[in-house]
Structure 1
Amino acid sequence: MCIGIPMRVVEAGAESALCEYRGQLSRIDTMLVGEQQPGAWLLVFLDTAREVISADKARQIADALEAMRLAMQGHTNFDHLFADLVEREPELPEFLRT
């Protein structure tokens, strides 16, 4: 299984970018998404950017990853990290609706 990490571009290049997540800098291959400007958010799998995402989407993914980290440590109080989901009915994705 591969988990996507939201990373912010710090320094852009033609085929790669220096990106940051939780204070850690990594050189990321950007050939699939093209050159991105500093401040752009990328969804990264195995040091390769696969998608350009919004800052809001990056925050949601980072919150979900933090909740997973807390759950793995035995914590159970992380509903605040899913504020967009708490107290609303689940909805099927459009392609599954009839």
Structure 2
Amino acid sequence: MCLGVPMRIVEGDDISALCERREERRRVSMLLLGPQPIGTQVLIHIDTAVRVLDAEEAGLIDQALDGLAAAMRGEDFGSAFADLDREPQLPDHLR
């Protein structure tokens, strides 16, 4: 399974950017988004920035990733998904 992770741009140019998330720094391709200002949160998938994120969405993704890590360790993860305050619903075409 591949997951996208939010990272913040710390330096960059038209082609690539150095991004960080927590203790990790990674050079990623910016070819899909073009140059972005330093401090911009982007979603990284396979070392490529695929979408600009606002701070709230980046935080929710980080929280979900923390919940996934807790679940894999056998710990309680319910608080990591507090924004999901309802049961998932099937789309109409699948009901």
TM-score w.r.t. length of structure 1: 0.84
Distance 2:87 2:31 in 1: 36
Matched, 1:25 2:25: yes
TM-score w.r.t. length of structure 2: 0.86
Matched, 1:81 2:76: no
Distance 2:87 2:51 in 1: 25
Distance 2:6 2:29 in 1: 14
1:79 positional shift:
2.0
RMSD (CA atoms): 1.7
1:27 positional shift:
0.4
Q: Which segments of structure 1 move beyond 6 Å, counting only runs of 4 or more?
A: none
1:89 positional shift:
2.4
1:83 positional shift:
2.1
Q: Residues 11-90 of structure 1: matches in 2 within 5 Å?
A: 11-75=11-75, 77-85=76-84, 88-90=85-87
Q: Deviations over 1:58-94 (max 9, x none)?
A: 111111111111111111x222222212xx323648x
Q: Flag structure 2 segments of 5+ consecutive residues without an equivalent.
A: none
Aligned residues: 93
1:50 positional shift:
0.8
SS of the residue aligned with 2:49?
Answer: strand
Q: Flag structure 1 segments of 5+ consecutive residues without an equivalent.
A: none
**Residue matched to 2:10:** 10
